A and B are shown apart, each in its own frame.
Chain A
């Protein structure tokens, strides 16, 4: 991995390494959405995706002492996210019915999850939108793990080089993974591609 001295996030992470909570908070604020997007589209359960996203950032904090700014911070972050996600997928494969953490363990005094309602579709549009969204999610979730991760990181505007670092493969292999993922999606979503059923926001 090439050195990344000019990465502002790496500079923040070096501050986290020295115990700076504000720097850590800034990193969480910046990356919570892309990390959630990748995890929520890889795992079937949104609540588990959220728990895992929290675990990713806790892991970042715990590993801060070992962090070295040799690569971009986001590469390191998404590598942690991918590893935890793979562990979770393997755990689910072994124990399909068990949740990530037992609910209501009595230890947490946190407020319940607070979601902002971002939907602004009229009812018929919302129905159509919801159906199409579900189809796209389903098609993405059915992709092989490495193709799905490559595509999702690409959608989060992560560079090819970074994706290849996260997946630990060559640049050409990364491009090939994304290409194959898109070909599969085009085949699976063909009816929806042609009808243009996705409404304009």
Chain B
């Protein structure tokens, strides 16, 4: 007998007293493993404590009380007015209403999202249209003449000598 079988005997002892064969196995195991004697004794002592714990007191009229409680439940159910179709509609009317509202909201969200997207695109198109005449791209012919391109951004310089002449005392 090994330790696992010893554990099995402990489990069995929790369910029922050991039979003669199991007792023999146990005695042989404990003779070979005296250090396990205390563990076995503790298990048996706990078994005894738990087994001798008295039953919880149950009143002799417990069943009668349960049956009376069942009858009270049934009477209460019978007293509760059965819902007519109008009551039923009133009771359940919030459910379809909530469902419709939820579906409507769920349907409106993509609609408004799409409207917002279209509005944004329109605004972008208008902005581009406003900017495009200002930012004209130079023609190919102009680009071929580098010198002309270079001068594009330059102002003609004033003829300072001529201005000086005009400013001479009259």
Which A positions have Cβ atoms within 8 angstroms of B?
21, 24-25, 28-29, 32-33, 36-37, 39-41, 46, 49-50, 53-55, 57-58, 61-62, 107, 110-111, 113-116, 118, 132-133, 136-137, 154-155, 157, 182, 185-186, 189-190, 192-194, 196, 198, 201
Contact = CB atoms under 8 A, between A and B. Distances in A.
A110 B65 contact: yes
A29 B46 CA distance: 29
A196 B44 CA distance: 11
A175 to B, nearest CB: 8
A136 B70 contact: no
Contacts of A198: 48-49, 52
Interface string B53-66: 11111111111111
Given A21-B67, A28-B66, A192-B49, 15 more contacts: A24-B67, A28-B63, A33-B55, A33-B58, A37-B55, A40-B56, A41-B56, A54-B66, A110-B61, A115-B59, A132-B49, A182-B14, A185-B50, A193-B42, A193-B45
B46 A61 contact: no
Interface string B97-129: 000000000000000000000000000000000
Contact of B54 (A25, A133, A157, A194): A133
Contact of A114 (B52, B59, B66): B59
Contact of B73 (A46, A62, A192): A62
Nearest to A62: B73
Contacts of A28: 62-63, 66-67
B59 A186 contact: no
A114 B61 contact: yes
Given A37-B55, A50-B59, A198-B48, A25 B67 contact: yes
B149 interface: no
29 contacts: A24-B67, A28-B63, A33-B56, A36-B55, A36-B56, A36-B58, A37-B55, A39-B56, A40-B56, A50-B62, A53-B62, A54-B62, A54-B65, A54-B66, A58-B69, A110-B61, A110-B65, A113-B59, A113-B61, A115-B59, A133-B53, A155-B50, A155-B51, A155-B53, A185-B49, A186-B46, A189-B46, A190-B42, A193-B49
Contacts of A36: 55-58, 62
A58 B42 CA distance: 41
B96 to A, nearest CB: 27
Contacts of A193: 41-42, 45-46, 49
Given A41-B56, A115-B57, A58 B49 contact: no
Contacts of B67: 21, 24-25, 28
Nearest to B14: A154
A52 B70 CA distance: 14
A168 to B, nearest CB: 22
B46 A201 contact: no
B49 A115 contact: no
Contacts of A113: 59, 61
Contact of A137 (B48, B53, B61): B53
A133 B54 CA distance: 8
Given A58-B70, A186-B42, A201-B52, A25 B63 contact: yes
Nearest to A132: B49
Nearest to A175: B11
